[in-house]
């Protein structure tokens, strides 16, 4: 995917060529443009089309930014289970999960992110601990302890002493990806680096490791909410 500048902002551009005559422009998500066009449309025409539609692109992009605001979140998926989210102004900040609903009460809209981050982290630690224990038992692996953080760019890590650390937001990913991340870190208990033997051992625990790893690189952080 190539990068282009529109109105001083960097966008990634994906060109899909198919049997069609016209040119279609779509903003897939924030800062991501998709163009569908014929097999023969020259690049220079595509660039002109983009520059002619500059205002529209910038406007749509702003809208997409706002869409992601936490106060507009209606649904959160935790380990493959969907939860409805209800946000409400209140005198105190809280987050409660009852059945398939997450109730977020906030004193100020700007605090929603903080509330979700703090409360969901506690739930995430419990879920991650349970699953680490289960998978470590299954493969007879010994770890020291499990903790959670919110490092937006990393999914997990394993220290030399055998402590495992995870980004709490991995509970928002599909179950097989969640398990893949745990198995990746558990594999580091035996092989510290990412050498050939690391991937071979991981493949033993996770048959779909390659597919899962690719998915994670492409989609992983898109599912994160804070
Ligand atoms: Zn690793």
Encode pLDDT of 170-187 as tens digits.
999 999 999 999 999 999
The pLDDT of residue 30 is 85
Positive/negative CA dihedral, 196, 197, 202, 208:
positive
Segments of the chain with pLDDT less than 50: 67
- Cα 194 to middle of ligand 1, angstroms: 6
Task: Judge whether 146 lies within some domain.
Answer: yes
Q: Does residue 9 lie in a domain region? A: yes
Give the CATH number of the domain where residue 166 resides. Answer: 3.30.2010.10
Question: Is position 86 within any domain?
Answer: no
Task: Look at the chain and count its residues.
Answer: 226
Owner of token pair 């702003």? 62
In a domain, 123, yes or no: yes
pLDDT of residue 153: 64
188 CA → ligand 1 middle, Å: 7
Is the domain of 123 the same as that of 197?
A: yes
- Dist. CA 73 → ligand 1 center (Å): 31
* pLDDT, position 141: 96
In a domain, 89, yes or no: no
DSSP 70-126: GGG--EEEETTEEEEEEEEE-SS-EEEEETTEEEEEESSGGGHHHHHHHHHHHHHHH
What domain count does the chain have? 2
How far does the centroid of ligand 1 lie from the alpha carbon of residue 131, in Å?
18
Same-domain pairing of 134 and 60: no
Domain housing 43: 2-67
For residue range 82-115, list pLDDT tens digits in order: 999 999 999 999 999 999 999 999 999 888 988 9
- Å from CA of 82 to ligand 1 middle: 29
Is 134 part of a structural domain of the chain?
yes
Residue 19 lies in a domain: yes
**Residue 145 falls inside a structural domain:** yes
| Dihedral of alpha carbons 171, 173, 174, 179, sign | negative
Residue 22 CB partners (closer than 8 Å, separation 6+): 37
């Amino acid at each position: 995917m190539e990068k282009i500048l529109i109105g001083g902002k960097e966008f990634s551009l994906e060109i899909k060529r198919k049997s069609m005559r016209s040119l279609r422009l779509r903003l897939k998500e924030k800062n991501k443009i998709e163009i569908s066009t014929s097999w023969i449309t020259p690049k220079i025409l595509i660039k002109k089309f983009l520059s002619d539609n500059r205002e529209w692109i910038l406007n749509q992009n702003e809208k997409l930014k706002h869409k992601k605001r936490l106060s507009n979140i209606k649904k959160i998926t935790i380990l493959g289970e969907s939860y409805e989210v209800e946000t409400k102004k209140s005198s105190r900040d809280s987050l409660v999960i009852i059945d398939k609903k997450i109730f977020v009460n906030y004193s100020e809209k700007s605090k929603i992110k903080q509330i979700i981050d703090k409360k969901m982290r506690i739930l995430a630690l419990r879920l991650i601990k349970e699953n680490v224990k289960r998978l470590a038992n299954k493969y007879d692996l010994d770890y020291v302890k499990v903790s959670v953080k919110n490092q937006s760019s990393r999914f997990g890590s394993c220290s030399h002493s055998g402590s495992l650390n995870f980004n709490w937001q991995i509970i928002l990913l599909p179950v097989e990806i969640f398990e893949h991340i745990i198995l990746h870190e558990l594999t580091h208990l035996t092989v510290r680096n990412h050498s050939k033997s690391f991937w071979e051992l991981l493949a033993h625990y996770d048959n779909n490791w390659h597919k899962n790893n690719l998915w994670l690189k492409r989609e992983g952080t898109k599912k994160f909410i804070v």
